[in-house]
Amino acid sequence: MRAESLGGEAMRWGIAGCVTALLLGMASLGWAQGPGFAQEDRDRLIRLEARLQVFMEQVDKRFVELREDMNKRFEQIDKRFEQVDKRFEQVDKRMEEPSVSR
């Protein structure tokens, strides 16, 4: 039995070695061609660049709109403060006027 198990183990190692050699051979074929771009890769990059450009334009537009909205809101707040200042001035004038007692 021991001889049979050694034979089975050797066979497993042989198969594993063949599979490993096959995988390494396939990988080396890919590496031998070198890193290059196929037309499909180039087209994909062009599409990606176009999408990125559109996205950046949308983000820029959103920032401009946000800035405009914030400026409008600050203008509204400034107007409210001016109204409050006017009310305080009116109250101050009333307090400075001599009171008429009857």
pLDDT per residue rounded down to tens, the chain (102 residues): 444 445 566 666 777 777 777 667 766 665 555 567 788 989 999 999 999 999 999 999 999 999 999 999 999 999 999 999 999 999 999 888 876 554
| Sign of the alpha-carbon dihedral angle for 83, 84, 89, 92 | positive
Measured CA to CA, the distance from residue 39 to residue 43 in angstroms comes to: 6
pLDDT number for residue 64: 96
CB-based contacts of 45, cutoff 8 Å, min separation 6 = 37
For the entire predicted model, the pTM comes to: 0.48
Which sequence spans correspond to the domains of the chain?
1-34, 36-102
pLDDT number for residue 1: 44
CB-based contacts of 37, cutoff 8 Å, min separation 6 = 45
